[in-house]
Structure 1
Amino acid sequence: MTLTLDNPTTVPAPAGPYAHVARIDLGDRALLVLSGQIAADENGEVHGDIVAQSERIFELVRGILEAHGSSFEQVAHIRTFMTDLDDLPGYGTVRRRLFPHAPASTTVEVSRLFKPGALLEVEVTAVAG
């Protein structure tokens, strides 16, 4: 078993002292544990409504997964932190379109996220290989 911490060039650098992904190699496969992603642009700013932020987050998640030879089809679990569960329908519309296989999921409401304007943060666990 080998652990690799990585910040792929396919996404902007992390906003703090953390890795975007922890890759645990297990022989011919790997487990990918992604850090929480918010809808930050290349300048670290967050804009848009729940749908726009959801789209941006999954664009970032896709970039991290693809950098490690994985895809949305190989996502095992999604953990979502939302500042308002009333936004769930907009988020759900984006998720259902991108994840027709409905991975395991956890969604919770939180009082706030670390970046002002962020409406949600999403963590993903996936398989590669």
Structure 2
Amino acid sequence: MENAKIVRKNPAGMYNPVGNYTHITKIPRNAEWYVASGQIGADQNGEIPDSMNEQIENTFNNIQTVLHAEELTAEHIIKVNIWATQKIDWDYLYAKWEELFGSNYPAMTIGYLSELGLPEIKIEIEIWAARV
């Protein structure tokens, strides 16, 4: 399985993704899996800012910290779940998304909820990763 790699694709005959994601991410056998808890917008001191965009920035910083702790990169991320309690500024989130992924997008799900684990949390992003 020397040439095994994570493959991302959009099937023929299906609509183009409506955002920056891929419809299918294929993980080869014997890949090492990493499932991270949802990351929130807390800073390094555990403070959660009121601004949604500041929470988005902190959340992406926290995702980078999780990745670095396991010597992973965005290339290893296969699935992203985004949960938010208020409308997301997609221009801002996608700017952070592009910094992390470039144009090599993982699978993604987005959901709007009435609340998350604490009332001040406005966004939570969960990542799944695999290393071949």
Same fold (TM over 0.5): yes
User: Partner of 1:105: helix, strand, or coil?
Assistant: strand
Post-superposition offset of 1:96? 2.5
- Ranges in structure 2 where 5+ consecutive residues have no aligned partner: 1-28
Asked if 1:88 corresponds to 2:93, the answer is no
Give the CA deviation at 1:49. 2.3
| 1:95 shift after superposition | 1.3
2:127 maps to amino acid: V
State yes or no: 1:118 paired with 2:121.
yes
Q: Which has the higher contact order (CA 8 A, sep 6+)?
A: 2
Larger Rg: 2
The reply to whether residue 107 of structure 1 matches residue 110 of structure 2 is yes
Which residues of structure 1 form unaligned runs of 5+?
A: 1-26
Deviation at 1:92, TM superposition (A): 2.4
SS of the residue aligned with 2:89? helix
TM-score (norm 2): 0.68
- Three-state SS of the structure 1 residue aligned to 2:33 is strand
Counterpart for residue 61 of structure 1: 63
More strand by share: 1
**Counterparts of 1:86 and 1:68, CA distance in 2:** 29
Identity %, equivalent residues: 28
Over aligned residues, Cα RMSD in angstroms?
2.2
Native 8 Å contact 1:84 1:119 kept in 2: yes
